[in-house]
Chain A
Amino acid sequence: MECYSEQIVSIFVDGELAVEEARRLRDHLATCRHCGQLLDALRVENRVLSESLQELSEERASPTGFPRLPWSLAWRDVAVVAAVLALASSVAAWINKLSIPEALQWLNPFSLSGGTNLIFNLSYYLAHGGTAMLRDYAAVVGERFLLLLLAGSGLLLGRRWWLRQPGLRLLIVLLALSLPGFALERRHSELVTVAANETVDDTLLASGKIVRVEGVVNGDLLAFGGSLEVRGTVKGDLVSFAKRTVVSGTVEGNIYNFSHSLDLDGQLGHSIYALVQSLRVNDRGHVGGGMVVAAGDVSLEGEVNRSATMFAGNADVSGSIGRELSMTGDSLALTNTSRIGGSLSARVHELKNVHIADGATIVGTRDIQVRVRRSHFARPRFYFYKAIWLAAAMLVGWLGLVLFPGFFRASTHAVGSGWRSLGLGVGVLAGVPVAIVVTAITLVGIPASLMLLAVYLAAIYLAKIWVGAFLGQLLLKPTGATKSDWLLGLLVGLLILTIVEFIPYLGGLVRLGVVCLGLGAFAWQLYRDFTISNNDLKKAS
């Protein structure tokens, strides 16, 4: 009988020959010495090959590998929780048929007025006591939050593979934070009034076109709506999102104010933290603490016991400030009647915009600095900052590549899809702020909207990195796909983008285009990652 080919014997040795053929081969082997020797040789070869391969070379996987796991777990948790919160709050919005009140339109970053920089001010605001307000919010929304959380947890449990223990912990923490909110009274109508002879013992959440407090609120007052008037007394803090806020009565705590205008005629026990278009403290107004304000116009006729910090277009001071006044902005005027118990420091663009009347009293020093707008290119500092910026971007790129190698590479790659990324990016760029405002407005969603805001800002920052890396790869056409190739590409791309952005007019367009492209690639890659993971699951099972 004719001998078998080496390939057939090799397949037999691998144990992959069909049963029937294997039986025949075995019969043949019993009689054929030549094939027997071949079989033995091939067996030895397989063994040698296996053993050689199994005996790993000196190389080891990077020891830093594992810490990536908890990171990604945490990120996914944040994503899951954010998604649940966003969903929950949009449902809540739908239930309440809330629409964005006009009063909050100015929070929209696309309609910023008065030259106030929302992001900057918001971070400043949060750093100066805003977090306490967030806790209050978390408390206030307790009841509804609890229900939604229970429903959300139920959903999560239903899809077990989505449930991560840290996620559960986070939910529990949020839940715990929101529990105090049960001591809450809510009032919602066109006209919400707390009558003069009425006392509200709990925290009051009021929303309506007009909210008027003539009586006493023993807790905090949270108000949303067109106009808020406090003629009576609020013993706690006042948190206002109303378009127009007038306090002619007494607020014993702090005022946290996000609105178009804030007028203080009455007494305030502690401080004002405000992000407003116009702020006015009338001559009868008294602030027991200090004030931290970002506003288009500030008019201070009354009295502030401690120091005042203002970021303002125009600031007029005719009242008194117990300690320092520091002001950054366009113009500052101190009248004869004004009195500053500490030092004055002002940062303005032109000296002629600072008017200090002769009769004005300033106990401490005067420090007025003019920030001249010279051409960027004339200042060495500018190049220094640009270099730092570039180094930071490279560092972020490198970190991203180390922590999320697949995602960063794929996002870079996704930039290449051009119009799809651009189109998607425009949508994301315009859509997310709306989503943030809608989420925030439903109260439930304030933590969620902050998270969304953080992701949005991070993505805008990262956009340039992805586009830069893509551009660099396009130009350098690296043969390999190593980290250093990617980073070199990033450096080249970022340099080009940085230079192009200096071109007048075109530079701005390029910057916008880059952000859109990068955001689009990011969104697309997020979407793909989810679908791919699901496919992998199917493939593996």
Chain B
Amino acid sequence: MDTKRNVKGSQPREGKATQMEGADLESVIARAQGHDAEALGEIYRLYVRRVFGLCRYMLDSRESAEDATSEVFLKLQRSIESYDGSIPFARWLLRVAGNQCIDALRRRKRGRQEIVEVEEGVAVIEAASSDPSPLGAVLSTEERAQVRDAVARLPETYRVPLVLRYYGELSYDEIAQQLGLQRNYVAALIFRGKQELRRKLGHRSK
């Protein structure tokens, strides 16, 4: 999955990841599980930008994102042993990183009120909104930067699930588990987040 998207992406994000074959990656992971510092370093080089990106989107400052990123890789020395290959490694790692960020957010907010504050009655949401999706066009580089910017300005409530879904590629269930929320509620948050994003980008373009 990861390799495919790397090829598809407009810019190579992790130069080496595109070249690394599945078997190579497997052997690197296996060595890392045996506490080979070199293999851990290889994994770091391959994934640091992905992980940092997730943390950067989820946390509000570059510094906290750096902190969270280094925490993820520090803990990786241990936690990598629990990786069993049942899901792609990148996705597993991003799940771990998501956990780390959520922990960081909770520590700072002393709880997760921010994420739960939105009232629970979101099961019913009006049918297709009249305004068409402003994200529907093929976007230029600059416009993509605007999208990222808008995501960064979303309230944490929406930003966190949105980033976990569309950057971390976690399933609703995984997000729900990480945030300690109902699956339906996560679905509603993601949907609303996208609406909010449209609104922000709509305002901007006008």
Q: Is the CB of A53 within 8 A of B133?
A: no
Q: Is the CB of B56 within 8 A of A59?
A: yes
Q: Say which one of A228-236, A307-315, A476-484 lies at the interface with B.
A: A476-484
Which of A34, A66, A70 lies at the interface centre, i.e. has the most chain B CB atoms within 10 A of its CB? A66
Q: Is the CB of A165 within 8 A of B188?
A: no
- Asked if B41 lies at the interface with its beta carbon under 8 angstroms from chain A, I say yes
Quick one: closest A residue to B188, CB to CB?
A7
Q: Is the CB of A11 within 8 A of B187?
A: yes
Instruction: Give the complex CA separation of A14 and B41 in angstroms.
Output: 34
User: When A52-B139, A56-B53, A65-B48 are in contact, do A405 and B67 touch as well, CB less than 8 Å?
Assistant: yes
- Asked if B1 lies at the interface with its beta carbon under 8 angstroms from chain A, I say no
A34 proximity list for chain B (CB < 8 A): 128
- Contact partner of A72 (CB less than 8 A), chosen from B45, B77, B127, B166, is B77
User: When A48-B147, A164-B35, A165-B35 are in contact, do A536 and B13 touch as well, CB less than 8 Å?
Assistant: no
Q: Is the CB of B57 within 8 A of A72?
A: no
B144 proximity list for chain A (CB < 8 A): 48, 51-52, 55
B127 proximity list for chain A (CB < 8 A): 3-6
A495 proximity list for chain B (CB < 8 A): none
- Interface residues of chain A: helix, strand, loop or mixed (majority): helix
Q: Is the CB of A480 within 8 A of B61?
A: yes
Interface residues of A in 12-40 (CB under 8 A from B): 14, 16, 34, 38
Instruction: Give the complex CA separation of A7 and B52 in angstroms.
Output: 30
How many residues on B have C-beta within 8 angstroms of the other chain's C-beta atoms? 77
User: When A61-B48, A69-B44 are in contact, do A533 and B78 touch as well, CB less than 8 Å?
Assistant: yes
How many residues on A have C-beta within 8 angstroms of the other chain's C-beta atoms? 56
Interface residues of A in 522-541 (CB under 8 A from B): 533, 536-537, 539-541
User: When A5-B125, A14-B172, A533-B75 are in contact, do A406 and B67 touch as well, CB less than 8 Å?
Assistant: yes
Q: Is the CB of B70 within 8 A of A65?
A: yes
- Asked if B171 lies at the interface with its beta carbon under 8 angstroms from chain A, I say yes
Quick one: closest B residue to A405, CB to CB?
B67
User: When A72-B74, A540-B82 are in contact, do A66 and B66 touch as well, CB less than 8 Å?
Assistant: no
Nearest Cβ distance between residue A57 and chain B, in whole angstroms? 6
Interface residues of B in 152-206 (CB under 8 A from A): 162-163, 165-167, 171-172, 187-188, 190-191, 194, 197
B35 proximity list for chain A (CB < 8 A): 73, 163-165
- Asked if B121 lies at the interface with its beta carbon under 8 angstroms from chain A, I say no
- Asked if B117 lies at the interface with its beta carbon under 8 angstroms from chain A, I say no
B57 proximity list for chain A (CB < 8 A): 53
List 27 A-B pairs, Cβ < 8 Å. Answer: A9-B128, A10-B190, A11-B172, A34-B128, A38-B128, A44-B135, A48-B144, A49-B166, A51-B10, A52-B151, A53-B167, A57-B148, A61-B66, A62-B70, A65-B48, A65-B66, A65-B73, A68-B70, A68-B74, A69-B74, A161-B81, A405-B66, A409-B67, A481-B64, A533-B75, A536-B78, A537-B79
Interface residues of B (CB under 8 A from A): 5, 9-11, 13, 35-37, 40-41, 44-45, 48-49, 51-53, 56-57, 60-67, 69-71, 73-75, 77-79, 81-84, 92, 95-96, 99, 107-108, 125-129, 132-133, 135-139, 141, 144-145, 147-148, 151, 162-163, 165-167, 171-172, 187-188, 190-191, 194, 197
The 3 closest A-B CB pairs, nearest first, are A61-B52, A541-B82, A52-B147
Interface residues of A (CB under 8 A from B): 3-7, 9-11, 14, 16, 34, 38, 41-42, 44-46, 48-57, 59-62, 65-66, 68-70, 72-73, 161, 163-165, 405-406, 409, 413, 480-483, 533, 536-537, 539-541
